[in-house]
Structure 1
Amino acid sequence: MYSNIVLSRQWARLACVCRYMSTIEGQKLPQAARSSDGISPPPRIARSPTDILQALAATVGTDPSAAHYKYHDDPYLIPQSNYRKRSYALSAEAGRKAAAWIRDEHAELFTMREWDPPMKMKTPYFNADPQIEAFAPKPIYNDESKVTEEDLRYTIQNALLEDAIKVFELLGGVDNLNDELKLSLLQLLCFYNEKEPVSLEWLEERWFSAATRERQSTTWKLGGLADKIFTAMEPKTSEAYSAIIQGMAKYYQAERAHVLAQEAREQGIPLSTTVYNSLLGCVGFLKEGVTLRVEALKSILNEMNEQGLSPNSETLSACLRSISSWGSGKALQTVALQVVAECRQLGIAPSLSAYYYLLCLFCKEQGPRIDILTNIIADLENRESIEATQATDTNFFITAMGVCSDHLQDVNLAERVHALLMKGDNYKLVGDAYKESIYYRHLVTVTCKYAPFEKTTQLLDTLVPNIYVPEPSVMEEIIRTLEVGGAGDRLADAWSQLVVFGHAKRTKLVEKLLSALCNCYTYQDDEVKAKIRQAAADILKFGQLMEEREENEDRRSPTQKLSASALSNIVELCSDTQDKLDPNWSTVENAVQRLRDEQAAGVPARPQILADLAQKAATVGKPELAALAVTYLAECGFEEATAASVQTLGVMLNRPVEEVETLLQEQKASLATSLHPSALAVAQAYHIAKTGAPLHESESSSASSESDSESSSDDE
């Protein structure tokens, strides 16, 4: 029964293969011959599988405001903060890591698949059709493994350094290997300095990794396996010398590398241009002082000339890298320009890395302003394409934009740099997520400071938030720019952006936003004013929710609360209404109560806001709020408390100011029984501001003084 099913499946598959072959045969075009009917088709053009997709994409263009393709194309699912973007991407990659872990830890589950054709040969690790090497489980080597030279060759080709060392030990060491494998293993050890390389499979992890500056210190493993293999190799070939010298130079074992280079020259072993480039990159470790280092650099270049070696773009980059790391000054700048000029005479165009080192040398933060970037951008704009040749090429655009923002403060040049990055496939040179964020930080900062307001808003609409999420410092610059431009509508939207971007807990940033809203509130339309008032009310509600959450969670480091000045700004914004039923009045009352309960740091910078609030509240018909505001002013000792008490009481009693003052001065005893509780509270605030004590305490003190005077007269 089972055999009949298998045979029928095989016959069906054979028929499918025959139909496929006949279809391919019918699709074949003549390459250069002429057909019998006189029609000559054009020659066949070889195309890649994605050429049609690229042609279709070129007709549509790119949407600069669209989210990255790795995120879901849904506005409710697209992450809009740096933290969420990072978590989203890394969580997706964590799933792939889990699958890879299962593949590696349980490789026996992937050596045979039950649904493979019955006649297919079952071999370990290679059972898929088609075979995909990256998805196959990696072999595991231990002390009991039976290995051959083929296993060592496999580990070297796949850069499995620890496995290569293990197989090398199982094979018996250097004596049991041929010269080819010795050289390949030596090259692998020198390239990675006998440390397991970081896997290139996890793109997101490398993209979001925190960029650390390269530490220029000696990290070469002295007396390691690489030194032992090189010492045991006889005769030592040019490839062996090249591998060990470049490895030592890469990890800054400069003195030993130059000694081996001198040894190779004495033995007549030729060295390549790449070896000399590595020596040029670490020449600064041999000498002390600029003069001696420059002489050593020139001597290496002269040796290259004597050996008949022609420099290349890596030679220029290595020279500029060394010069830029020696400090600054006109002497080094002159030497760098001489090297660039000589390379140009040889037809060597500077790469992005070379231009990056020139910017580091000429455009120091504390140094004089030197505009070398304009000529660099002009040269790059004239090139048809820019190809990445070194890892440091990704440092150019971030450095160039930083020079435009901090050093030159030129927005026009920044626009040219950005246009060059967006040209063709140049965006791949922006670097990882850290460099991309710094690049846009500089771009947005220089645009906010020096570009017209319309161009600034256009750039923000294009970048924020899918491409770039502003950091707190950049967000502060954006708020300042919107405040100067009087864009109240955008400032009101900035609060929702702070919440989405995860910056709403940064008290100083929220306070700057409230200050900007107050400064541009007067010039806005009624609709925009209502939007601003709603944003101010939401800010207070958000702060209260954060405090409640902290109390429930019992956090050790509580979030900083809004200052008294920020609360007074909320009062000023939300109290701009004549409707007694407006819900913003509850926000105002809550803010004033928080001020009086000392739930804010400091005191208001503008106490006149609370004085105006008391009069507004009394006019609208909220005497309790008016009394609360006046009482706070009196208790804090503000000078505005006296005038605010008189004016507020005048509104409550519908009397002129002069009559209210007379009432407060002459009829103190009858105020407690004749005034409304809210009006009485205002009167008490007046006496607190005048005497420093409430009304009833001043009356009792005056009565006690009268009784004392009477008793003294009786004694007499």
Structure 2
Amino acid sequence: MAAPGTHVGHYVQRNGRFLLNNLQKLCGHRSFHRTSALQQQAAEANEESAQSIVIPRKKTWSKEAVLEALSSTVGRDPTAYRYQFQDDPFLSPRTSSEFTLFSLSQESGRSAAKFFINNNPKLFTKDFAEPHIPCLMPETVSLLLEEVSEEALKERIHLRRVTAAVDMYDQLLQAGTAVSMETTHDLLDLIALYCDRNPAEDGGPQTESSEESGEEAKKKKGRFRQASYFLNATWKENNNAERIFNLLSEKDTRCYAALIRGMVRHGAYARAFSLYTDMLNNRITGDIHIFNALISAASEVREQYNERWDLITELLKQMNQQKIQPTLQTFNSVLKALRRCGFLAKTQALHTLSEMKALGIAPSLASFNHILVVFFRPGSSGPGNVDILQEIMSEISGMSFTCQDPDDVYFFCTAMKICLDNKDLELGYKVHALVEVGENRRLVGDPYQQSIYYGRFFNLLCMMEHADVVLKWYKRLIPSLYYPNTQGLKDLLQTLDTESRLDLIPTIWKDIRSLGHENKSGLVEEVLSLMARDKHSPEVQELFAQCALDIKTVYTGEGGWSRLEWTPAALSYIASLLLRTDKTQQAWEILQLFKTNNRVPSAELLEDFLLACHSSGSSQRAVELVQMSAAFCLSTTPKLAEKVLAQFELNEEQRTLLSELESTGEPSD
């Protein structure tokens, strides 16, 4: 078989000769020798190129190459639901409450399915499926090895059966069977991780995490996220991890690391440092995991800021002495601990960041988040806060990040809060532009954090941007990325009011109903107040009147909507809007609701009704209006009766009645 480049070489040589022959004919015989030289050079060049050209037999593509190519051709559809709701469009949430219910139901369904599979493994022995996707098949959770052996212990460790693994380990010791150090390491890691209890993921109830920082604890209310069961456990003295550790004749770094990390994870900070001291006394070198855990716990075992930083510095020096290279997690632990070091934090945080870069360790989003928290204090604003964020954004602008630290997901929320507090729209756009780069959107956080981030961004837009731009972002974000809360919609209404775009309120009201906020009385009254405050063109007033009638159904409970309690302000706004479009009969029905719901109309509203009665020439309605005013014992009743007597044609009975009301201000029996 010919070499890969042979046929190409023949093709080049053959075409080269053809071109040279044509050149000879064009140039004549006098240039023959020159042409022969060119031909020889071309032949040599062809031979060299034939030897250098290598045609690959096969191109290897990644499994996701086609999907990646297709995804690069399209952008995000702002009218589409989130990807996690695409499976069943009928059940896709349309409001924030439905979103919470959907998310809770989805997680509850997963937990119920896992509980059923784990407790009834014999019912799920078949693992075939078309197409067969191994990662979607249920895991094997039943114990297959019953004899006392190290293999059975490994099986229990793999299935995270903490109690069963400890029992098997004790049986092996009683039988005089030695357990390898590698298996012992895995057992200690398991016990320390779950604090000597079986993990909740295997079918038990799940509770919410209690290990949260100060600002995270404030976000806890109403937050939906999968909780970590084992973080609620408390490290007990002489538990199985410590008992097995004390039984070991030889203890190495990995054994100490398992217990120290477990103690720090579960709040036994002083015991972790005591065990570390014991390790040093036994002349055992630590590892990076031990130091990362101890650095994160430094602020828990010292009271004074100076003492905390001195302890962190001492741990870093010991790392250097033991020739342990720091990692990203090491520096992030230092930066996170500095958040609780008071006045020392700002200076030392910048030094720590410089040290990271000097060692060639690229900061993650968590690193920058810790820096922002150190420099930014809640309720404070000023150029210093913006300057540090400006420097960070100039450094990471246009970069695509992957999650390297659990705290990476807090950066964007913190950055947008600084932009909002300082009302820096340009910087807010830069932060959001970074979110749109690559897969950075995934690092905004869980659905609760996403709601916080987009809510702050939308609030910033409403405060600082023009109405047209706000509405553009409104269509892009809502509801595909953000279900606005009541305050977010009030901010939008305020923007429309500032820009004199109140004609868009009926459209916004439709969105308010679709988003499930029609049961918020404060928001509904805000909509009515803006529509009723000023008079507009007849076309706009007609839109407002139709919108007011639709809002009326929310209060009366028509169409299955939840019923709101009537307030005097809501009744007055709706009645005024109806009167401005000559919908007198419907306005009069609203006026009757004052009496039905024991609400008192204002004198201004009665004056408006009197003008409507005068325009339509309805003297009987005018008399009834005065009687209603008298029934509510309003001080304006005599003045109202005087106007009706002067402006309307009345019969004798009506004049007598109004004369009494004019003099007494009280209705006659």
Q: TM-score range by the shorter chain?
A: 0.7 to 0.9
Is the Cα contact below 8 Å between 1:333 and 1:361 reproduced in 2? Answer: yes
For 1:587 and 1:400, locate their aligned partners in 2 and report how far apart those are by CA, in whole Å. 51
Helix, strand or coil for the counterpart of 2:311? Answer: helix
Q: Which amino acid aligns with 1:150?
A: E
Alignment of 1:556-705 (within 5 A): 561-578=565-582, 584-600=583-599, 603-604=600-601, 607-623=603-619, 625-653=621-649, 674-675=652-653, 679=654, 684=657, 687-688=660-661, 690-694=663-667, 696=668
The 3-state SS of whatever aligns with 1:468 is coil
2:155 maps to 154
Give distance in 1, aligned partners of 2:506 and 2:438: 37
Q: Counterparts of 1:576 and 1:416 in 2: how far apart (Å)?
A: 46
Distance of 1:691 and 1:134 partners within structure 2: 84
Verify: 1:247 aligned to 2:262, yes or no. Answer: yes
In terms of mean alpha carbon deviation, does 369-378 or 234-243 score higher?
369-378
Q: Tell whether the 8 Å contact from 2:545 to 2:581 is kept in structure 1 after alignment.
A: no
Structure 1 residues 323, 544: closer, same or farther in 2, change over 3 A? Answer: same
Give the total of aligned pairs: 607
Q: 1:674 to 1:295 in 2, by over 3 A?
A: same
Q: Aligned letter for 2:666?
A: A
- Cα distance in structure 2, aligned partners of 1:627 and 1:335: 80
State the match for 2:390 in structure 1.
374
Deviates more, 1:80-89 or 1:539-548: 539-548
Q: Distance in 2 between matches of 1:507 and 1:625?
A: 31
Contact 1:568 1:610 (8 Å CA) reproduced: no
- TM-score (normalizing by structure 1): 0.76
> Alpha-carbon deviations, 1:247-293, whole Å to 9, x = none?
22222322221222222223222212232121111111222111221
- CA distance in structure 1 between the aligned counterparts of 2:490 and 2:475, rounded to whole angstroms: 17
1:527 aligns with 2:539: yes
Question: Which residue is 2:78 aligned to?
Answer: 64
Over 3 Å counting, the alpha-carbon distance change for 1:631 and 1:476 in structure 2 is farther
Q: Does 1:288 align with 2:281?
A: no
Given the alignment of the two structures, is residue 86 of structure 1 paired with residue 100 of structure 2, yes or no? yes
Task: Spell out the pairing of 1:26-105 with structure 2 (5 A cutoff).
Answer: 34=4, 37-38=7-8, 40-42=54-56, 44-72=58-86, 78-92=92-106, 99-105=113-119
Contact kept, 8 Å, 2:298 with 2:312, in 1: the verdict is yes
TM-superposed CA distance for 1:134, in Å, is 5.6
What amino acid does structure 2 have at the position aligned with 1:421?
Answer: V
The structural deviation recorded for 1:424 is 0.6
CA displacement, residues 541-577 of structure 1 (integer Å, 9 cap, x when unaligned): 2211179988xxxxxxxx7613202210111101112
Question: Alpha carbon RMSD of aligned pairs, Å?
Answer: 3.7
C-alpha distance in structure 2 between counterparts of 1:638 and 1:386, whole Å: 68
Structure 1: any 5+ residue segments left out of the alignment? Answer: 1-29, 113-124, 551-558, 579-583, 654-670, 698-716
**Residue among 268, 289, 292 paired with 1:277:** 292
Give deviations 1:419-454, integer Å, cap 9, x for gaps: 111111101101111111111111111111122222
Equivalent runs, 1:283-362 vs 2, <5 Å:
283-326=298-341, 328-329=342-343, 331-362=344-375
Change (3 A) 1:268 1:548: closer
1:229 — aligned with what? Answer: 244
**CA gap 1:518/1:549 in 2 versus in 1, 3 angstroms:** closer
Residue 60 of structure 1 aligns to a residue whose secondary structure is: coil
Cα drift, residue 402 of structure 1: 1.5
The TM-score with structure 2 as length reference comes to 0.81
Q: Are the structure 2 counterparts of residues 387 and 438 from structure 1 closer, same or farther at C-alpha, using a change threshold of 3 Å?
A: same
Q: Which digits, 9 at most, give the CA deviation of each residue in 1:351-401, with x for residues without a partner?
A: 21122122222211234533221112112116x432211111111111111
State whether residues 553 and 561 of structure 2, in contact with CA within 8 Å, keep that contact through their aligned partners in structure 1. no
1:211, 1:434 within 8 Å by CA — same for their partners in 2? no
Of 181, 186, 189, the residue aligned with 1:187 is 189
1:540 and 2:555 correspond: no
Q: Which amino acid aligns with 1:693?
A: E
> What is the distance in 2 between the residues matched to 1:78 and 1:264?
55
Residue type at the aligned position of 1:322? A
Question: Residue 526 of structure 1: CA displacement?
Answer: 3.3
Q: How far has the Cα of 1:619 moved from its partner? A: 1.9
- Quickly say closer, same or farther: Cα 1:617–1:321, change in 2 above 3 A: same
Paired letter, 1:432:
D
Where 1:533 maps in the other structure, the secondary structure is: helix
Q: Which amino acid aligns with 1:543?
A: Y
C-alpha distance in 1 between matches for 2:435 and 2:545: 41
Q: Structure 1 residue 621: deviation in Å?
A: 5.0
Q: Write the distance in 2 (CA, Å) between the matches of 1:397 and 1:214.
A: 27
Native 8 Å contact 2:642 2:662 kept in 1 = no
| In 2, Cα distance between equivalents of 1:410 and 1:272 | 44
Which range is displaced more, 178-187 or 78-87? 78-87
- Over 3 Å counting, the alpha-carbon distance change for 1:253 and 1:127 in structure 2 is same
